[in-house]
Structure 1
């Protein structure tokens, strides 16, 4: 692009710059001055989570615009097909019970070691080397021992192993906690005890979808987002193979799973209406990652990065966080802070996009990390952020919160309407089209004559007279007054 464009929107181009050092003080040609430990720095960012695959808030925004689950999935997970898998079983490591045995009861009969355990009795399983377990059955969870023996089958089964069984047949943990569909068993990982829930895929998803999304979205136009979530979660689980004794786990490291305690009729409908459907590629289920909020652009990876206009619904579409120099230095273990510098970005979205490289220098050394590592060390919501010295303004509320019910400018449908420039960009193929990725936000032209947005290989300009047009840099320069080269 011609240098004259700098005269139009310097903030647009500067926002994408990398290699600009902040928090640097010079005490001489060879000595870097230490920044005071209580000096504040404002981090302004976009999105919540890793940003790969589907953005859950974006899916909700698109559902409110009338997109079907199939369209949502096709948009975020390019190159996949939607196919039927059937109801396979899955083993789920219950990580909150790591290092413990299994103590379980039910309001209905249970089976263990080939024997029936009556309601009012409890089973205590302890994993044994070689894959078996010792069994102790007591009256109640803490009562007298009724019988005990060893078994090669370290599982407690409900009275009926079929799918979608009533709540009184679910297995419950002594001491409280969530009840579980399916069977509960024990295993050893080395010498470490593990507890596993062996459950049908569809029953498992009844506990995943309400834990990973918001059932109330179904009441505000987001039912298709819940259906998309059910397919993504099923696909992710079907692709899992983490342990010798279980395919997946029950925390955010895998997918959050709350047993049957969190089930909700609205998310149950989403699971049942998509039963067995998974995303496939080259004949295999894909690991359909998702995160809460992309911030307006997904991160790429196994699935191509896409602009996420639906994400304006997210409460974390844009956020701010303040840290002190001391907190930053401690997080990276560099002594006292001298400087912090973004060295590279992915060039997708405002401010240059997600951080891919960050350098932090201090009195005891320098660390170079990825944006995702920085996100973890600093406790940030995402790896898409900028850093400025001092305390900056708070992020604006999400678009969905700006117009309250009854206000004249409130959209009664709650839809997230793209601008004419965004529509034109989408028609041209988005970031995969001829214009490439955006290099800044949509901005107003001088005297409010129209609006424009810059991209890697050109620009789109909108006026009331012409509508949205694709222009190269030289034509844009000619159209905007006072910007001669």
Structure 2
């Protein structure tokens, strides 16, 4: 559906501020304070002056985006997995089979994985351990800190200090650019983990490398130990307390499969951010997710003898996106706090995101046909005064900062969808997954509703609610008039006939 509300603006481009110069003109004409309004979106700024006519949507015109789900939607939906486990009693294997199209589960051998710690890009390594550690063939005692800087040829320069910023105890160079724990075996106790100065702790070894000339820090760790850090970061350990333990087991299987398929860099298999899988080391390990990892040890999705990149995202919105794995209906997602969401952008936001000049229209050109509203966006066209841009749904999601690529976009302010019912047993969503809040109606919105809304005498809104020039109140323009609010008079209606007789030259654009 094309969104093409066009307006003719005399004397060049519309102003983002809502045509405040016109409001000042109204004040100069002596209009009663209760009826003073700045001309909203679509009011002609000057009268009787020749100039070019430009068709555009005013920059402060609101567009409401209503969407479903959170994330790319490919593979498993984490909230859906929880719904299937906690509310329908599905086992992890059934959850995995549902989302990943019957891809076989098999055992993969134990192996290490190397993880780029992206937050330390461009830095050296500063690390210690409560149990001591080893570097450059020498022991480093508890309380001593090893500082490594990568050097060309695969080595490192090393300095050991007393504390993170204390005196230098010794320094040198090594061709083994790793700090190793006192015991290299898997599943070591917390006091043997390596700790970054001012940062997280890690199982396994920590080392340095160069990517071109850029320093990198890498964690070399057993795959199962790695998953002990990933699963509580990518899902919610508390799900185990409300019937969702099988969802955590499904998460462990998916995360193991994804990690085992990774080979991203010459110096590391994967990374520690959302671009790969979120991995904060051992700092956030939890007994409930540790049990999920250990109870599924070695189990992974395998195709042609190789682990499969089993993608997952927070919420599918009710239908997965398809791709490597066939799209499936996701009834488990029904109570997800991000099952439905609403976001308001302005025409200026959209135009700036795609660099098209002044926005003229936004058109969803294609969808995947799966689920409500025609499904996920696969094509969108943004037309502006300077150029036209065609993007797919992922690009639209990224550029506009949306939660997913399953959305509709319409001009104006559209009521937010009802939030899903609270999950049973007092379960709570994490703050970053909270359902969008529905704002309390303003006094202007209440008055507009009393008059029948868009079907009433004022017609549809033609701009957002805005402050009056002297901050004495607020106003909002509609097709056939305006509503003005001040603390002393409350919400008052100014119809189009009063606009025309009181404010010469004023009028709403068609």
- Report the TM-score when normalising by structure 2: 0.74
* 1:83-124 residue CA offsets vs partner (Å, 9 max, x unmatched): 111321000000000000001111112011111111111101
Q: 1:264 aligns with which of 286, 299, 310?
A: 286
Point out the structure with max Rg over C-alpha.
2
Matched, 1:179 2:195: no
Partner residue of 1:159 out of 159, 182, 185: 182
Query: Aligned match of 1:213 in 235, 241, 264?
Result: 235
What is residue 104 of structure 1 aligned with on the other side?
Answer: 127
2:256 to 234, 259, 276: 234
The Cα of 1:346 is off from its aligned counterpart by 0.1
Measure the CA separation in 2 of the matches of 1:79 and 1:67. 15
CA distance in 1, matches of 2:408, 2:253: 34
Deviations 1:397-429 (A, max 9, x none): 12335x787xxxxxxxxxxxxxxxxxxxxxxxx
CA contact (8 A) 2:261 2:308 kept: yes
Give CA-to-partner distance per residue, 1:380-412, whole Å, 9 cap, x none: 0000000111111112112335x787xxxxxxx
2:46 matched to 1:24? no
Give the structure 2 partner of residue 122 of structure 1. 145
Give 1:113's match in structure 2, choosing from 116, 125, 136.
136
Work out the number of aligned pairs and report it: 383
Displacement of 1:32 in angstroms is: 6.6
Determine helix, strand or coil for the equivalent of 1:400. Answer: coil
Instruction: Specify whether residues 31 and 386 from structure 1 end up closer, same or farther in structure 2 by C-alpha distance, changes over 3 A only.
Output: farther
Does structure 2 retain, via aligned residues, the 8 Å contact 1:82–1:280? yes
Pick aligned residue for 1:347 from 369, 387, 412: 369
Structure 1 residue 95 corresponds to structure 2 residue 76: no
| Counterparts of 2:116 and 2:53, CA distance in 1 | 52
Q: Does 1:363 align with 2:398?
A: no
Quote the Cα distance in structure 2 between the aligned partners of 1:63 and 1:404: 14
Aligned-partner Cα distance in 2 for 1:341–1:186:
48
User: Residues 31 and 349 of structure 1: is their aligned pair in 2 closer, same or farther, counting only changes over 3 Å?
Assistant: farther
User: Matches of 1:399 and 1:218 in 2, distance apart?
Assistant: 20
1:80 corresponds in structure 2 to 103
Q: Distance in 2 between the 1:404 and 1:124 partners?
A: 49
SS in 1 for 2:123: coil
Could you list the runs of 4 or more consecutive aligned residues of structure 1 that deviate by over 2 angstroms after TM superposition?
none
Find the counterpart in structure 2 of residue 197 from structure 1. 219
Could you tell me which residue of structure 2 aligns to residue 17 of structure 1? none
Give yes or no for contact 2:134–2:180 (8 Å, CA) kept in 1. yes
Q: Check whether the contact 2:70–2:317 (CA below 8 A) recurs between aligned residues.
A: yes
Please state how far the C-alpha of 1:24 moved relative to its aligned partner.
3.1
Gaps of 5+ in 2: 10-51, 427-510
Q: Does 1:375 align with 2:397?
A: yes
Task: For residues 58-94 of structure 1, give each alpha carbon's deviation from its aligned partner in whole angstroms, at most 9, with x where no partner exists.
Answer: 0001002110000000010114111111321000000
User: Does the 8 Å CA contact 1:24/1:340 hold for their aligned counterparts?
Assistant: no
Partner of 1:428: none
Q: Secondary structure at the match of 2:201?
A: coil
Kindly report the root-mean-square deviation, in angstroms, between the aligned alpha carbons of the 2 structures: 1.5
1:399 is paired with a residue whose SS is coil
Partners of 2:102 and 2:348 in 1: CA distance = 45
CA distance in 2, matches of 1:404, 1:230: 24
> Does the Cα contact within 8 Å between 2:7 and 2:57 map onto a contact in 1?
no
Unaligned runs of 5+ in 1: 1-19, 406-485
Q: Match of 1:66?
A: 89
Partner of 2:314: 292
Shift of 1:288: 0.3
